[in-house]
Amino acid sequence: MRAVRPLIGLLALVLGACAIADNAVDRTRMEVTGARLFISGEITSRTPANFVELLDANPQVAEVVPRVMQGSLDDQAVLRMGYLIRERGLDTHLEARSAIYSGAVDLFLAGTSRTMQGGAVIGVHSWADGFGEGASYAADAPEHRANAAYVRDMLGSDAFYWFTLQAAPSDGIHEMTPGEIARYGLLTGPIAN
């Protein structure tokens, strides 16, 4: 048994290093076409710097279009990008084949105008931090502050944040219905055909 413990410790160290290395590489694909910036993939700690560089090089960009996005490995990176989208007055739009999940939904919320074509998917769930699910923390716990404030800044209310915590556990996903999308004010206009 004593020989197994060092191996388990080494395995944990290697897996932890892989997770850190995974977050240090930008896992998104960004492309500018005219006034639209298309983004897909997974947001990491490297994504905001590349996002800023691309926006600075393309001042004509007026709309960010998430395509297929699994979410993020770094919640703070998403919040930095979201506040930048809002600060620059950019819109966000989901195409009929867009499918955004988790942190990518938070990015979408940043648009000054938020539009969506029918067929797009918005998937939400709770977060987990290694100690528990977001829903397991008291409503006034400091773990909620940044994300609840971000949603409130983007939508005028944090009700959507609290909904996501109950919609699905961190290892699941809830695809929102048109009624839920409307109820929480995710769009600034009706779903387009």
> What is the mean pLDDT for each group of 10 consecutive residues in the chain (193 residues)?
50 45 78 98 95 98 98 95 98 98 98 98 95 94 96 98 97 97 97 89
* Per-residue confidence (pLDDT) for residue 2, from 0 to 100: 54
* Per-residue confidence (pLDDT) for residue 82, from 0 to 100: 98
Please state, in angstroms and as integers, the Cα–Cα distance from residue 90 to each residue in 142, 159, 178, following that order.
30, 23, 23
* Sign of CA pseudo-dihedral 113, 85, 38, 62: positive
Token digits of residue 37: 């910036």
**Domains of the chain, each with CATH number or no CATH:** 26-183 (3.90.226.10)
Annotate 68-80 with b (16+ C-beta within 10 A) or e (fewer): ebbbbbbbebbbb
What global pTM score does this model have?
0.87
* Per-residue confidence (pLDDT) for residue 193, from 0 to 100: 82
* Per-residue confidence (pLDDT) for residue 161, from 0 to 100: 98
Q: At what angle do helices 159-167 and 145-155 cross, to 10 degrees?
A: 120
* Per-residue confidence (pLDDT) for residue 70, from 0 to 100: 95
